[in-house]
Copies of this chain bind each other. A is one copy, B any other.
């Protein structure tokens, strides 16, 4: 939509191409000819996260230290999708590595972008069901992840109390709770205060 708002990239310069950090500076031109001298983009691979239910409908949460905000937070599992990897296979692989669980049902809920003002990637949102613990965690270097199983009412309460601080994960949980019927749209309440 609105093609007239699109910019043309005149030139790109990579500032960093480290395995954990790729950033570039673009010089762009708007449709009216205005030049944008410096637009910084941090490149990340596509990622995925999932509300992951065990066979007995418990939710697999993780606790993880997030250095940029210097907090240990509750998250849902997920990670980056490998180049060329199918996203449904990617989320299963990530969950197996991070939690040791395999799931019988994989439902794609949608996709969001964490912060499209600076990051270029999308995150695919999933609901996984029928999880069985079949292996131990296989974590990447520096990953230190504690697993915690909670009930769906507990997850819902955590979300509504603002305890899921990672926005991608809050979005995923909202979509999953709607899919599960735990959250329902009430059109007759539209616009009431």
- A interface residues (Cβ-Cβ under 8 A, vs B): 1-3, 5-7, 15-16, 18, 20-21, 23, 25-26, 28, 30, 34, 36, 38-42, 44, 57, 63-73, 110-120, 122-123, 129, 142, 144, 146, 151-153, 156, 160, 162, 164-168, 170-171, 174, 177-178, 180-187, 189-193
Given B113, B117, B165, which contacts A111 in the complex, CB threshold below 8 Å?
B165
How many copies of this chain are found per oligomer? 2
Which of B117, B129, B171, B190 sits near A152, CB closer than 8 Å?
B190
Contact of A5 with B64 in the complex, beta carbons under 8 Å: yes
A2-B63, A170-B112 known; A180-B165 Cβ under 8 A:
no
Known: A42-B42, A112-B165. A190 touches B186 (CB 8 A): no
Q: Are B184 and A183 in contact (CB under 8 A)?
A: yes
Chain B residue nearest to A189 (CB atoms) is B181
Shortest C-beta distance, A61 to chain B (Å), equals 13
**CB <8 Å contact, B185 and A182:** yes
